Amino acid sequence: MITEDMPFRPIHLGYVSKVFGEALGRMYSDQFGVSVLNIRLGAILPGDVPVRRRHYPGYLSHADCVQFAQKCIDAPDDLMSDTFDAMSDNNYRWRDICHTKEVIGFSPTGSAEDHEIEDKGSIHQVSETPTPPGKHAPS
């Protein structure tokens, strides 16, 4: 589980640019007194339903997305700089949303597991059983 206090480990330039944007927001907050809340949204899908197993970890329901955005808008004025992850309450979530819940009161009501899908997955998707280290997930 990736928590909010872990160091950044971008794996390509696209992620480096996201980290840069968050750092730039922090600089503006510190230097100019501007409140900057960085938001990291999960997978917001057409139809509000995951269609592939790989959608399960990062799924963010439309209702949870709206609630999250409203919580950020309504955040206390003295919250000057922070970063929040938003995902629904998914069993296979890979980002910890405890910080988001504690600081702005986010309370997701959706879950990827609320939706049955036909996709059986593959080695690159979430497996129904844990994969032993060094092995491929069952397909």
User: Which residue has 């959608």 as its token pair?
Assistant: 55
* pLDDT greater at residue 134 or residue 102: 102
Q: What is the span of the domain harbouring residue 40? A: 36-114
How large is the average pLDDT for residues 40-61? Answer: 91
* pLDDT greater at residue 15 or residue 125: 15
For residue 66, being part of any structural domain is answered with: yes
Total tally of structural domains belonging to the chain: 1
- Quote the mean pLDDT of the chain: 87
Prediction pTM value: 0.81
For residue 124, being part of any structural domain is answered with: no
What pLDDT shows up at residue 134?
Answer: 46
Band of residue 136 on the pLDDT scale cut at 50, 70, 90? very low
